[in-house]
Structure 1
Amino acid sequence: MRTSTSIARAALALTVLVLSAVCSFPGASCTKVSYDDRALVIDGERRIILSGSIHYPRSTPEMWPDLIQKAKDGGLNTIETYVFWNGHEPRPREYNFAGNYDIIRFFSEVQKAGMYAILRIGPYICGEWNYGGLPAWLRDIPDMQFRLHNQPFEREMETFTKLIVNKMKDANMFAGQGGPIILAQIENEYGNIQSGLPDQQSATKYIHWCAEMANNQNVGVPWIMCQQSNDLPPNVLETCNGFYCHNFKPKENMPKIWTENWTGWFKAWDKPDYHRPAEDLAYSVAMFFQNRGSVQNYYMYHGGTNFGRTTGGPYITTSYDYDAPLDEYGNIRQPKYGHLKQLHAMLTSMEKHLVYGQQNETSFDDKVKATKYTLDDGSSACFISNSHDNEDLNVTFEGSTYQVPAWSVSVLPDCKTVAYNTAKVKTQTSVMVKKESAVTQGLKWFWLPELLKPFCTDRSGSFRRNELLEQIVTGADKSDYLWYKTSLTSGAEEEFTLYVNTTGHELYAFVNGELAGYQHSVNGPYIFQFQAPVTMRAGKNYISLLSATVGLKNYGASFELMPAGIVGGPVKLVRPDSSAIDLSHSTWTYETGLYGESIQIHLDKPNLEWSCHPAVPVNRPFSWYKALFHTPDGEDAVVVDLAGLNKGVVYVNGRNLGRYWPSYIAGNMDGCHRCDYRGAYKTWDNQEKCLTGCHEIGQQFYHVPRSFLNAGGLNTIVLFEEAGGDPTKVNFRTVVVGSVCINAEKGDAITLACANGGTISSIDVTSFGVAKGQCGAYEGGYESKPAMEVLSAACLGKESCTVHYTDELDSAGSEGSSVLTVQATC
């Protein structure tokens, strides 16, 4: 009699035989990829996929090997990335595959590490990226409709998709060529917005065209579509995105794939920092695999930095840290990284059971269940989950009783012993600090004023219109800035209120060369009414309006139609008696960008005459500043502290680090005052929790990758200060591990570690029953002198150390608590 497992293996062998034709590249070590209802099938074997998102443009090529290796060391076997169309094709048929857009080099690093890869072409990606990755120049094409069935969009989308596919094929990157790519994605989260599009018939035709076009590329690996349950085309796999996907049920004969497990959330200038607890993230992963999941990807595993003008939103910060297991700078974030690493080790050890085992469930109530996976040889692996968010339970399963904390999953690789529980963190917490660097103190600043005079008349410009145009189409998103200029003649001096209706995001108004006012919109609808008192002199008057964007819309049905700038106006001069002069249909002259951008001041060319007067002007809007600094010693990540500035752009050695806006203070939200890993994590519907940074600077520190710096030499920082700030307060810091802490129970291994050559300088806390506080600032508890002595002897002066918690570390008076809290300083 044939067993269910042997039948399954025979079916898989037949599937692989059918697909073997795609693996016909001479000399290649082919990897055959197929699937069934349990898992991806790689070279005839079902596999679980533990993946993490690392976006190549949000880091640097020099960072990629370290990031990928840390992901592998953390227990992942796959790296996933979007493909960024507007970065690769900033202008039609002008391509960029250099530097941090060298996508082939990125996948080559994945392959060198011996890992698989998931290629998410999109090419619409969302991703908190300008226009969701779609180039703004698409809007210049006649009859263009984004993400609907129309020849202009489908032609451009297919052209770019083929370009990426052919680049991958030429580099032998698909699995059938011996490369790492085992899955490819077309479109992204279309099902989320499909019902909101203006033409449902066109939407259906489009999404089915996408699938057919993708399959015609013959990449030899399955294609996936995220969030496409309601209108799934044939020959693609549907997948789930969200904080939890264990209840996701794919279509028949498809494996359960989770393309985005959100490890945290992106941050806006006006929002505090989001943190998803390690316990909850681990719970979501364990629940997914308990419920027949097989492919899981963390979004993000490394978030990185939105260099340049890449942020979408708008109003999303330059930092894209995302509270990921690897922080913005590539440092290991503990305890999240270590807690997940232990879970990955458990899941990997249970792989055969999870993808081949017979599944049996025992429900104790609607939120408590045990799941057993049994192989033909009789071995088994189990999960016990408790989804109550406030009730710890004792669960009796197969004759043994297990204590399962609320909102947790216990993992029993042998169905007898709990080897891991998602709520019990057994790895250290590391508190990262920004250490001021002595080599960058007391910077000498030079400055140049932004040349505004040519923009404060209506004599020069790219073109003229008798109407107020939309900013993105008019400026082709070549700059954040677009000038609207007009003039009028007055018979006598007269007082007015200048009134401008704009879709923002910012507006500066100049009258006769003088700044009349400034305003920015709130992070929301972005529409606001600018008002400022102005004086019209007798004779000709010039009105110049500088509209600025802070990232472009990236999500939603017809998001590309959301306007920016002073489209349509009205623009009026209103007299005190309420009579008005409507300038909306006057002759307007248009000019994209700033003078400093056009001459590339950020490159600090030799012909620039910087002022070196000792009294550098501060709080002066529209100013460029420059200083020289030495590269900080060591290997720790470098950041520039811009707390004294207002709003603008920062460059180091000609590299654009991104927009800065440290004058924007994050608001107060309830989530800053409560944090409990138990219960569903959300970042909407007023369910925020575990936030930090209320009433603090939205973003103070900006990443300076070490590859941007000159080793052992001088570097140049250039600032464009748009709104007026104080550059003399700028300094550079390095990101280092400060305090490290761990909670241990009897029998646990207490492991403490610094980073980048740092050593443990002191043991600060060895206490039972710590009453309150957090790592770096614990309070209360009963100190264990034996633990202090043992840990001091084992750890001081070392980069890492491990001590096992035995009776030797106990102390009289510690009987009231079984948890030993240890804190050390690196």
Structure 2
Amino acid sequence: MSALTYNQNSFILDGKEIRLLSGAMHYFRTVPEYWEDRLIKLKECGFNTVETYVAWNLHEPEEGQFVFEGIADIETFIKTAEKVGLHVIVRPGPYICAEWEFGGFPYWLLTVPNIQLRCYNQPYLEKVDVFFDVLFERLQPLLRSNGGPIIAIQVENEYGSYGNDQKYLQYMRDSIQKRIGQELLFTSDGPAPSMLNGGMIEGVFETVNFGSRAESAFEQLKQFQPNAPLMCMEFWHGWFDHWGEEHHTRSSESVVETLDSILKQNGSVNFYMAHGGTNFGFFNGANHNEEVYQPTITSYDYDGLLTESGDVTEKFFAVRKTFEKYVELPEMKLPPVTLKKQYGEVILGERVALLDSLNQLSSPLESRTPLTMEEYGQGYGFIVYETMIKGAYGKQKITVQDIHDRGQIYLNGEYAGLVERIGGRSSIEVDITEVETKLQIIVENMGRVNYGPFLNDFKGITQGVRAGNQFLFDWTVYPLPLNDLSPLVFNSDEAKKNHPYLHRGSLHVDEAADTFIDMSGWTKGVVFVNGHNLGRYWEIGPQQTLYVPAPFLQKGENEIVILELHDHKESIRFVDQPVLG
């Protein structure tokens, strides 16, 4: 089969003109058991292509340790897309943004000596090349020229929004080209002159990203690339949410108005996101607008054509109807709706204090100063810093300089206050009256920045801790990635407010179905079901429920563990509808 090419007006595949109608779906945000269901639904909406990013941090969580199983099995995802009749566009990064932790970069990149991200920097390029060697060896058989479904591959990602290092972009172009042969390469950028100037690469097809004003966006693209077809690589028909914001939605009428404008101009389109899915675990990203740190919520519903749990929406049908004006579509045959169940209340009768469980969950490390998570070899989750203050200092200000991202402070086991990056609160007032005072700080990594100029987002305590103006030294540190809770010893003690506790209960099911845990009434924390980290909840919303896909459950008893940081309740409810606003 021939590679995807193009003339002045159209894409060409196997000698025929083709309009790419693509929908974005990230394999790493949907459980593998549901990939086929979601892909069939995209096909039935009228799409002929699916697009996915590649999350480097999922595939190389520690340097030299590669993972391509389970939710990281990109090969099976691509083969499934081919099975249901979809072409595939792959955006391998190495940087992807995607509202994903660190824009897809693995945390350990920050520890590489002399590294500079997203530019022609030898230490950085060496790590990218190692990953690309492994990744493209797996993608090679799936390329169009080898009989597979991959028809196009992106170079970098929206680079014009970040920099203008053409030597770097040319290196990335050549790096991918030598691994894939003659497949179509492309870039994508915002439709502004600075972005197109910074992100375009000689010999590489350019696309633009936008959510409205298609005529002006395409007109700008034509000025830079006059002899090629038009494509919107990210049509933003929905949006993502930060904690503390309103849930974003966009009307079907507004979406199809812009879509119609794209198609009228003979444009191709990739819906971002056709199916959003979920930021399971600690993989949500964050934004930083130079003033405020803005972590992204667990749900990546995106107000897409399919909901977070894969149901078709009104927007889905409106988009298919618009497609039908321009292309002939077969009769729609949707798969059955995935079963949803309201399992009701679960009592959480057992609990254990996090600070009493440090030696069960972690091995202590010693350091003169409180180092960052990365320097202790930790990527995600929480970390506890502990030191002794010797001397009755009296009234003092405890300052945690540049905390990333949220710290709860304890003196001799008693809660003293909160410091957090959001809002810039770095100090609390205390009264140190004992000859020896144990200071403990529990720090949560709430997601590394995934977009913009502040990507170098170290986590934990990044500069130091002071009592007054005196820096404190000699620290014992407990990394808490919380990837194995089995060593915990639960009891029935009463939980103290503002002290983190892990609560445990059991859900009995006769039939596993999709469900949602209603966390309204709780304050802030993380939920685990049968060892699966569902992600974070927070009372400030907008998200109030956490999605539990049926494959995370089993017939019979299911272990539910909740890490609550502040205000403890006795039960949770399993409901059959999400609450995202």
Normalised to the residue count of structure 2, the TM-score between the two structures is: 0.89
Counterpart of 1:659 (choices 536, 540, 549) is: 536
> Structure 1 residues 588 and 347 mapped into 2: Cα distance closer, same or farther (>3 Å)?
farther
- Distance in 1, matches of 2:403 and 2:490, equals 36
- Distance in 1, matches of 2:340 and 2:153, equals 42
AA partner of residue 430 (structure 2): P
> Structure 1 residues 482 and 634 mapped into 2: Cα distance closer, same or farther (>3 Å)?
closer
Counterpart of 1:346 (choices 304, 308, 325) is: 325
Measured after TM superposition, the shift of residue 454 of structure 1 is: 6.4
Counterpart of 1:611 (choices 483, 487, 491) is: 491
Q: Deviations over 1:593-636 (max 9, x none)?
A: 23x938x22x4x6xx542257xx54746211111111237585x
Q: Provide the secondary structure at the position in 2 that maps to 1:347.
A: coil
- Distance in 2, matches of 1:489 and 1:193, equals 47
Measured after TM superposition, the shift of residue 280 of structure 1 is: 1.2
Q: Report the counterpart of residue 274 of structure 2 in structure 1.
A: 301
- Distance in 2, matches of 1:96 and 1:634, equals 27
Counterpart of 1:63 (choices 12, 34, 39) is: 34
Q: Report the counterpart of residue 462 of structure 1 in structure 2.
A: 365
Contact 1:645 1:727 in 2 (8 A): no
- Distance in 1, matches of 2:57 and 2:348, equals 37
Q: CA RMSD, aligned part only?
A: 2.6
AA partner of residue 567 (structure 1): T
Contact 1:493 1:535 in 2 (8 A): yes
AA partner of residue 34 (structure 2): M
- Distance in 2, matches of 1:298 and 1:60, equals 20
Q: How does 1:439-458 map to 2 (within 5 A)?
A: 439-443=343-347, 445-452=349-356
Measured after TM superposition, the shift of residue 53 of structure 1 is: 0.5
Contact 2:387 2:476 in 1 (8 A): no
Q: How does 1:618-633 map to 2 (within 5 A)?
A: 619=497, 621-631=499-509, 633=511
Q: Report the counterpart of residue 648 of structure 1 in structure 2.
A: 525
Contact 1:511 1:534 in 2 (8 A): no
Q: Report the counterpart of residue 549 of structure 2 in structure 1.
A: 705
Q: Report the counterpart of residue 482 of structure 2 in structure 1.
A: 597
- Distance in 2, matches of 1:478 and 1:135, equals 8
Q: Deviations over 1:73-118 (max 9, x none)?
A: 1111111000000001000110111111110110111010011010
Measured after TM superposition, the shift of residue 217 of structure 1 is: 1.7
- Distance in 1, matches of 2:451 and 2:548, equals 29
Measured after TM superposition, the shift of residue 452 of structure 1 is: 4.0
Whether 1:272 and 2:246 are equivalent positions in the alignment is yes
Q: Provide the secondary structure at the position in 2 that maps to 1:139.
A: helix
Counterpart of 2:209 (choices 214, 225, 241) is: 241
Q: Provide the secondary structure at the position in 1 that maps to 2:245.
A: coil
AA partner of residue 593 (structure 1): P
Counterpart of 2:173 (choices 211, 225, 234) is: 211
Whether 1:283 and 2:251 are equivalent positions in the alignment is no
- Distance in 2, matches of 1:64 and 1:186, equals 25
Contact 2:9 2:228 in 1 (8 A): yes
Q: Provide the secondary structure at the position in 2 that maps to 1:324.
A: coil
- Distance in 2, matches of 1:239 and 1:100, equals 29
Contact 2:405 2:420 in 1 (8 A): yes
Q: Deviations over 1:774-826 (max 9, x none)?
A: xxxxxxxxxxxxxxxxxxxxxxxxxxxxxxxxxxxxxxxxxxxxxxxxxxxxx
* Residues matched between the structures, number: 550
Q: Provide the secondary structure at the position in 2 that maps to 1:163.
A: helix
Q: Report the counterpart of residue 549 of structure 1 in structure 2.
A: 445
Q: How does 1:666-745 map to 2 (within 5 A)?
A: 697-710=541-554, 712-728=555-571, 730-735=572-577
Q: Deviations over 1:181-228 (max 9, x none)?
A: 111112000001215xxxxxxx22111211122222234310111116
- Distance in 2, matches of 1:634 and 1:233, equals 50
Contact 1:621 1:725 in 2 (8 A): no
Structure 1 spans left out of the alignment, 5+ residues: 1-29, 196-202, 351-431, 574-581, 665-696, 738-826
> Structure 1 residues 700 and 454 mapped into 2: Cα distance closer, same or farther (>3 Å)?
closer
AA partner of residue 655 (structure 1): H
Measured after TM superposition, the shift of residue 501 of structure 1 is: 3.3
> Structure 1 residues 495 and 454 mapped into 2: Cα distance closer, same or farther (>3 Å)?
farther
Q: Report the counterpart of residue 308 of structure 2 in structure 1.
A: 328
AA partner of residue 283 (structure 2): T
- Distance in 1, matches of 2:357 and 2:410, equals 10
> Structure 1 residues 632 and 304 mapped into 2: Cα distance closer, same or farther (>3 Å)?
farther
Contact 1:504 1:564 in 2 (8 A): yes
Of structures 1 and 2, the one scoring higher in RCO (CA 8 A, sep 6+) is 2
- Distance in 1, matches of 2:90 and 2:340, equals 38
Structure 2 spans left out of the alignment, 5+ residues: 190-194, 287-293, 330-336
Q: Deviations over 1:215-252 (max 9, x none)?
A: 22234310111116214222211111121344322413
Contact 1:246 1:284 in 2 (8 A): no
AA partner of residue 153 (structure 1): Y
Contact 2:370 2:461 in 1 (8 A): yes
Q: Report the counterpart of residue 488 of structure 1 in structure 2.
A: 389
- Identity of matched residues, %: 29
Q: Which one has the largest radius of gyration?
A: 1
Q: Report the counterpart of residue 296 of structure 2 in structure 1.
A: 316
Whether 1:159 and 2:130 are equivalent positions in the alignment is yes
Measured after TM superposition, the shift of residue 658 of structure 1 is: 0.7
Q: Report the counterpart of residue 229 of structure 1 in structure 2.
A: 196
Q: Deviations over 1:27-50 (max 9, x none)?
A: xxx243211221221001110011
Q: Report the counterpart of residue 404 of structure 2 in structure 1.
A: 504
> Structure 1 residues 241 and 715 mapped into 2: Cα distance closer, same or farther (>3 Å)?
same
Q: Provide the secondary structure at the position in 2 that maps to 1:183.
A: strand
- Distance in 1, matches of 2:23 and 2:30, equals 15
Q: Deviations over 1:712-753 (max 9, x none)?
A: 32211111112232142x11011399xxxxxxxxxxxxxxxx
- Distance in 1, matches of 2:323 and 2:395, equals 70
AA partner of residue 543 (structure 1): L
AA partner of residue 450 (structure 2): N
- Distance in 2, matches of 1:38 and 1:530, equals 60
AA partner of residue 448 (structure 1): V
Measured after TM superposition, the shift of residue 289 of structure 1 is: 1.9
Q: Report the counterpart of residue 21 of structure 2 in structure 1.
A: 50
Q: Report the counterpart of residue 237 of structure 2 in structure 1.
A: 263
